A and B are shown apart, each in its own frame.
Chain A
C-alpha cells in the first residue's frame, strides 16, 4: 500500500506571511509528484508535475522542490494572499499511471 502523507493538516496565516507544506512519499518506483490547488466547489487545479530529483518549479509566488531519494517535496508560498486560501494536494505517481493522493493541507490566509 502506497503511503503519501502531507503536513501540516491545516494552516492559518496572515496576509503577507510566507508558508510551506510538506509531502512525503515512497522513494521507490517513483515516476512523478503532482501538486494541486483545490478550492471548494471548483476543479482541483494542477500546479506542478515534478519528475527529476532536485527539481525546483515556480509559478508566480508558489514554488516547489523535490527530493526523490528521501521521498519528500516542499511547496512554498511567498507573501500569502487571501486568494491563496485552498486545500493543497500532493499526489504520487508510479510508472506513468494513476495518482495516489495525500490528505491535503488546508490553508487559510486572513486579510
Chain B
C-alpha cells in the first residue's frame, strides 16, 4: 500500500542552524501539507502546498520557514535559523485530488539544542 515517507526520523541540531526535513508524498497526490506537534500539545497546521505554490499557511509559518517541491517526488520543509521552540514532531501529509483523506507520514522528531 502506498505510504508517505519522511527522513530523517530524528534530527538534532544547534540553535541557529538550518534544517531541511524531507518527505516523499504518495505518488500522484497533488496536495501536500506540513503539521507539527510540540510535546504535550495538539497537532498544528503549518502550511499547505498545491500546484507548486503555498495555498495556505498558519501564523506559525513565518519567514524562517519555507517549503519546496524540488522534483516530482520530494516535498521539503526548511527552517532557516532554528529556535529552541521549534523542537517538535513534524508531520508531512498528502491528499489526492477529489479525495477527502490526508495521509500522514511517520514524522521527523526535531530537537533543537
Contacts and interface: CB of A to CB of B under 8 A. Distances in A.
Interface of A: 4, 32, 34, 36, 41-44, 46, 49, 51, 89, 91, 97-104
B42 A51 contact: no
Contacts of B101: 34, 46, 49
Nearest to A39: B106
A98 B104 contact: no
Contacts of A43: 3-4, 103-107
Given A43-B4, A99-B45, A103-B41, 4 more contacts: A43-B105, A43-B107, A99-B43, A101-B42
Contacts of B42: 4, 101-104
Contacts, number: 46
A6 to B, nearest CB: 9
B90 interface: no
Given A89-B43, A98-B45, A103-B42, A46 B102 contact: yes
B95 to A, nearest CB: 10
B43 A101 contact: yes
A4 B41 CA distance: 12
